[in-house]
Amino acid sequence: MAYALQQLINGLTLGSMYGLIAIGYTMVYGIIGMINFAHGDIFMVSAFIAVTAFTLLAAADVTSVPLALTFVLIVSIFFTSAYGWAVERIAYRPLRGSTRLAPLISAIGMSIFLQNAVQLTQGARVKPIPPVIQGGLEVWSTPEFTVQIGWSQLLIIAVTVVMMVGFTWLITQTPFGRQQRSCEQDRTMASLLGINVDRTISFTFMLGASLAAVAGVMVTVYYGVIDFYIGFLAGIKAFTAAVLGGIGSLPGAMLGGLLIGLIESFWSAYLWAEYKDVATFAILVLVLMLRPSGLLGRPEVEKV
Amino acid sequence: MMLTMEGVHAHYGHIHALHGIDVEVQVGEIVTLIGANGAGKSTLMMSLFGRPQASAGRIVFDGEDITHLHTHDIARRGIALVPEGRRIFPRMTVLENLQIGAAQADPANYDADIARVYAMFPILQERQSQRAGTLSGGEQQMLAIGRALMSRPKLLLLDEPSLGLAPIYIRRIFQIVRELNRDHGMTILLVEQNANQALKVAHRAYVLQHGEITLSGTGAELLASPEVRAAYLEGGGHA
């Protein structure tokens, strides 16, 4: 029981990060109908920006953890959203209006480019940072097992909840959110109403990248090591989460992320840890077979 | 002059859809465009927004050449379209659809504008928190008109507003066209299959055939014209 509770905490932590990344996939899919395969690498870039920012802070002898985290988050969000903007501008916008496959291939190219660029400039070895947040809270102690929630886990879950609430508010309640949703439903009509569709799409990419940046900072804090390849697996899992929840659906992406995180941690704890990725993708296959539009997705019905 | 199209040509892919269109709309007028299916009526409307952009000729709106502007910039100059098929945002509420219509308008006018739309279409107020996709066809048409009005346009374009609606809604639509023009001084360009009604409300009208203007005159003149009667009124069964 105690062991299971621990897995629940671990799974929620992991799932929070997947959920944050998954939103970027689902939003971009919603507005331009393409899978942005470079999104995982945007997340990876954000982790490198976070490491650089932490290193700079250490050099400047900043010791206050809240201050350091705030600074790193702001820096990472700023630069990562610039990357998100640039990727759309360079690799996708010129291809708008061509076949559906073209931007997909361009996205894969962008993903490889980002990985190689980071490998070249930052090196292929793992980058460690000194632990930022240590210790935790003992939640429950039994003779054979102690359930602990790390401060970093608590931070990740709390920041994710704040981001998700803020983000949901942005999309459902603000003029920007309305414009975003109108572009998602009918881009031509939105432009006929005076909405600058290209700008809305740019903002969507920047928003997705910002959430990935938050995940990138959290991963850096949680694991303390990163490398140029982390974007690949994290990206594919977040994509799985988005599909599981129903691609195009924002609550779906959050739910899918949490589920993938929980499945992974419970599977590793009780079954075979080395097959945890197989489990994730097997579930993806099952969902696609039984419920192709995902848990919260809309079935694709074209109404004339 | 509110709108002038001078020798406008437009292409849809390889199809040469408009062949040198000359159309004028004066301030305060209702101008009707009639024509058979595929004559290029909707293309003409969309070409005003640069979709597709005119390949030759020019379009002047309110004294400004808008031929090469972006669609959203043209809309912001004060042209609003109620498109064919309505194209409301089905997964947004009725209120949100109206708010989107006002997205580029002066926020100071919002309260007055929404009150005006609700006064014109009380059903929209009753259904304001309902998803727009759940409205009936006629209600969706009201919403599409309301959404267009929320931007306080100088020129209102209506593309087949009566298409597929029950007779009671068709009557209401034409009544609204008259009211908007008479009481609010709205300049209107109306595209219709329902030639009889559309010519009755129009100050002036054009007949479009295979991408060319073949006939023009006052609404009454066209209603009396033997060509129009033969092609669009008696034979068409829309009267």
Q: CA A189, CA B88: separation in Å to the nearest integer? A: 8
Instruction: Give dist(CA B26, CA B22) in Å, integer.
Output: 13
pLDDT grade for A189, boundaries at 50, 70 and 90: very high
Which residue reads 């033997």 in tokens? B226
pLDDT at A303: 43
Beta bridge partners of residue A127, listed in sequence order:
A226
Residue A246, Cα to own-chain centre: how many angstroms?
15
Per-residue pLDDT at B227: 84
How does pLDDT run across A8-27, given as a tens digit for each residue? Answer: 888 899 999 999 999 999 99
- Is A86 exposed, middle or buried (CB count within 10 Å of its CB: 0-12, 13-18, 19+)? middle
This prediction's pTM: 0.88
Rounded mean pLDDT, A30-52? 92
Q: Do B87 and A179 touch (CB under 8 A)?
A: no
First-to-last alpha carbon distance for chain A, in angstroms, is 53
CB B117 within 8 A of CB B125: no
Q: What is the residue-wise DSSP string for B190-227? A: EEES-HHHHHHH-SEEEEEETTEEEEEEEHHHHHH-HH
Domains of chain A by residue range: 15-238
Query: Mean pLDDT score of chain A, rounded to an integer?
Result: 88
Amino acid at A47: A
Return phi, psi of residue A195, to 5°. Answer: -85, 130
Residues of chain B where predicted confidence (pLDDT) is lower than 70:
234-239
User: Is a pLDDT exceeding 60 seen at residue A138?
Assistant: yes
CB-CB under 8 Å, B92 with A194 = no
Work out whether strand B155-159 and strand B187-192 pair parallel, antiparallel, or are unpaired: parallel
Domain B3-78+154-234's class?
Answer: alpha beta
pLDDT at res. A177? 93
Q: Are the beta carbons of B104 and A182 separated by less than 8 Å?
A: no
The encoded tokens of residue A242 equal 């988005």
Of A186, A193, A303, nearest to B103 by CB-CB distance is A193
Q: pLDDT value at position B239?
A: 40
Residues of B in contact with A181 (CB under 8 A): 89, 91-92, 96
* Model confidence band, residue A49 (pLDDT cutoffs 50, 70, 90): very high
Min Cα–Cα distance to chain B from A173, Å: 10
> At what angle are helices A230-245 and A39-59 packed, to 10 degrees?
130
Residue A304 banded pLDDT, cuts 50, 70, 90: very low
Per-residue tokens: B120:
């014109």
CATH 3.40.50.300 residue ranges for chain B:
3-78+154-234
* Structure confidence by residue, pLDDT tens digits, A59-108: 887 778 888 889 899 999 999 999 999 999 999 999 988 888 899 899 99
